[in-house]
């Protein structure tokens, strides 16, 4: 670890792993309930186990993203975190809020939970993945904003690299699209339309930017490949992700009463959606191989000795 404040990432990673184990446990309960119809009934009904399973997924991913950002940003920005204390406080707030929400799902019927937590003030519950009670949703927004403040201030006071800018774009996008979880129009078509803004534009939009930034960072650290090369790919991935991911949202609009043109837009652009994933795994990999590097960058030509070292190390078809 180059910077002391990177250590705040540790509890985040531990929590992410713990919650992931919880998710798998509830996945196994779900699977068993398919096989043995009354397994754990009535203590944990299928719909409750399912909600716990998917909500744990969201929470551990958020812990992972936050921990990853706290670890990566100081190294990228070449400065300590703006406030490690805030990062630690947010960790405990988020963990306690998350745990209370899960306990709420398991301890009381969902309708009672909705009543107890003020769903009548602003009706946001009852939609898959966005089942969280209002106080939890508000808590997520507060934690996300304070986290973004901490990370953004760190980048502002330090070095600004393409990787940290892409990460910030992804994280800010994640927070902005979560705001659509508060918008729940009575018209079901409208509701579904905007519900996908959170669900699809997270998974197939901003999460990919976050993933792309982390992957770029890890590749630079583990392979020693030039930042210049990785950053070039990162721009390609960001562009592909945003073009295919945003218009590709249409693949959810086929049967919800939206205009017919969505069938064309949704089909074509969602067919292109795997390309950024492909680019991330294969193109990043390729950019680490000497053959492609030497043809795409001048750097390899400038330092043939380093290229030769890579040639001997890279176990890829191109290097043989
Ligand atoms: C032992 C491992 C797992 C088992 C047995 C399992 C089982 C299940 C079951 C039975 C469902 C409900 C399907 C239905 O409603 O009919 C489900 C839903 C889901 N699981 Fe898992 N799961 C596992 C791991 C995971 C992991 C690792 C992830 C993601 C990281 C995941 C993400 C999801 C999601 C997103 C849904 C909701 C799908 C939808 O609504 O379309 N699961 N899982
Ligand atoms: Fe989608």
Domain end point (choices 106, 140, 160): 160
Q: What local confidence, expressed as pLDDT, does residue 298 receive?
A: 53
pTM of this structure: 0.89
Cα of 249 vs centre of ligand 2, distance in Å, is 6
pLDDT at 296: 52
Q: What is the pLDDT of residue 315?
A: 37
Q: Does residue 32 line the site of ligand 1, with CB under 6 A?
A: no
Which residue's alpha carbon is at the smallest distance from atom 6 of ligand 1? Answer: 27
Q: What is the DSSP letter of 204?
A: I
DSSP letters for 279-296: IIIIIHHHHTSHHHHHHH
pLDDT, tens digit, 9 for 90 and up, residues 200-227: 999 999 999 999 999 999 989 988 888 9
Cα 166 from Cα 149, distance rounded (Å): 16
Residue of the CA atom closest to atom 17 of ligand 1: 27
Q: Which domain holds residue 74?
A: 1-160
Residue from 28, 30, 46, 207 whose mutation best tests the ligand 1 pocket (most atoms within 8 A of CB): 30
Note the pLDDT tens digit of each residue in 48-91: 999 999 999 999 999 999 999 999 999 999 999 999 999 999 99
Number of independent structural domains in the chain:
2
Integer distance in angstroms from the first to the last C-alpha of the chain?
35
Do the domain assignments include residue 171?
no
pLDDT over threshold 90, residue 17: yes
Which tens digits make up the pLDDT trace of 240-259? 999 999 999 999 999 999 99
Q: Answer whether 263 contacts ligand 1 (Cβ < 6 A).
A: no
**pLDDT at residue 107, as a whole number:** 97
- Do 120 and 268 lie in one domain? The reply is no
Q: Determine which of 82-91, 117-126, 134-143, 278-287 has the lowest per-residue pLDDT on average.
A: 278-287
Where is the domain boundary, 125, 160, 195? 160
Q: Which residue has the tokens 């909500």?
A: 55
Cα Rg of the chain, angstroms: 22
pLDDT at 232 over 50: yes
Q: What is the Cβ-side half-sphere exposure of residue 187, based on CA atoms within 13 angstroms?
A: 7
Is residue 173 assigned to a domain? no
For ligand 1, whether the C-beta of 16 sits within 6 Å is no
> Residue 1 to residues 4, 6, 72, 215: CA-CA distances in angstroms?
7, 7, 10, 18
Return the pLDDT at 311. 39
* Region for 257 from its dihedrals, namely left if φ exceeds 0, alpha if ψ lies in -120 to 50, beta otherwise: left
Are 213 and 140 in a shared domain? no
| 148 closest CA partner among 87, 97, 95 | 87
φ, ψ dihedrals at 136, nearest 5°: -65, -45
What average pLDDT is seen over the chain?
90
Q: What's the gap in Å between 23 CA and the centre of ligand 1?
A: 9
User: If we measure between CA atoms, which residue out of 182, 198, 206, 212 comes closest to residue 252?
Assistant: 198
154 and 285, same domain (yes or no): no
Per-residue pLDDT averaged across 115-136, rounded? Answer: 97
CB-based contacts of 128, cutoff 8 Å, min separation 6: 54, 199
- Look at residue 214 and tell me if it is in a domain: yes
Same domain (yes/no): 116, 237: no
Q: Contact, 204 vs 248, CB < 8 A?
A: yes
pLDDT tens, 179-189?
999 999 999 99
Of 23-32, 149-158, 273-282, 283-292, the range with the lowest mean pLDDT is 283-292
Give yes or no: residues 154 and 214 share one domain: no
Residues 156 and 269 occupy one common structural domain? no
The residue-averaged pLDDT of 220-237 equals: 88
Average pLDDT over residues 164-174: 97
Give distance in angstroms: CA of 161 to centre of ligand 1: 36
183 within a domain of the structure (yes/no): no
Among residues 273, 174, 294, which one has the least CA distance to residue 226? 294
The answer to whether position 280 is within a domain reads yes
Measured between alpha carbons, how far is residue 320 from residues 150, 162, 226, 254, 314 in Å? 46, 32, 21, 47, 9
In 3D, which of 97, 98, 88, 92 has the Cα closest to residue 19?
98
What does the pLDDT look like over 272-319, one tens digit per residue? 998 887 887 776 777 666 666 555 555 545 555 554 444 334 333 332
User: Quick one: pLDDT at residue 226?
Assistant: 86
Q: Quote the CA–CA distance of 82 and 146 in Å, as a whole number.
A: 11
Nearest to 78 by CA among 5, 167, 8: 5
Is 174 inside any structural domain?
Answer: no
- Ligand whose nearest atom lies closest to the CA of 203: 2
- 317 and 229 inside one domain: yes
Tell whether 42 and 108 lie within a shared domain. Answer: yes
In this predicted structure, the answer to whether residue 143 has a pLDDT above a threshold of 90 is yes
């Amino acid at each position: 670890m180059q910077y002391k404040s990177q250590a705040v990432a540790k509890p985040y990673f531990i929590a992410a792993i713990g919650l992931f184990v919880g998710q798998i446990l509830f996945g196994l309960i779900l699977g068993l309930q398919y096989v043995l119809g009354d397994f754990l009934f009535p203590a944990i009904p299928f719909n409750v186990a399912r909600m716990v399973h998917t909500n744990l997924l969201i929470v551990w991913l958020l812990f992972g993203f936050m921990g990853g950002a706290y670890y990566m940003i100081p190294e990228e920005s070449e400065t300590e975190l703006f406030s490690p204390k805030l990062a630690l406080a947010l960790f405990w707030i988020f963990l306690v809020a998350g745990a209370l929400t899960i306990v709420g799902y398991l301890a009381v019927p969902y309708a009672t939970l909705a009543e107890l937590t003020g769903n009548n003030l602003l009706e946001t519950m009852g939609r898959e993945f966005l089942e969280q009670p209002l106080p939890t949703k508000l808590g997520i927004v507060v934690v996300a904003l304070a986290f973004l403040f901490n990370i953004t201030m760190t980048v502002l006071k330090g070095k600004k690299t393409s990787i940290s800018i892409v990460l910030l774009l992804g994280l800010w996008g994640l927070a902005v699209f979560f705001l659509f979880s508060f918008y729940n129009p009575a018209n079901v078509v409208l509701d579904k339309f905007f519900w996908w803004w959170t669900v699809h534009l997270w998974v197939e939009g901003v999460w990919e930017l976050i993933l792309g930034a982390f992957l770029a960072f890890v590749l630079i650290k583990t392979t020693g490949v030039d930042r210049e090369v990785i950053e070039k790919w990162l721009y390609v991935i960001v562009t592909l992700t945003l073009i295919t991911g945003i218009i590709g949202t249409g693949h959810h609009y086929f049967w919800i009463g939206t205009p017919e043109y969505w069938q064309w837009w949704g089909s074509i652009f969602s067919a292109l959606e795997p390309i950024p994933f492909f680019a991330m795994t294969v193109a990043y990999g390729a950019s680490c191989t000497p053959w492609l590097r030497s043809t795409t960058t001048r750097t390899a030509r400038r330092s043939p000795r380093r290229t030769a070292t890579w040639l001997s190390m890279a176990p890829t078809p191109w290097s043989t």
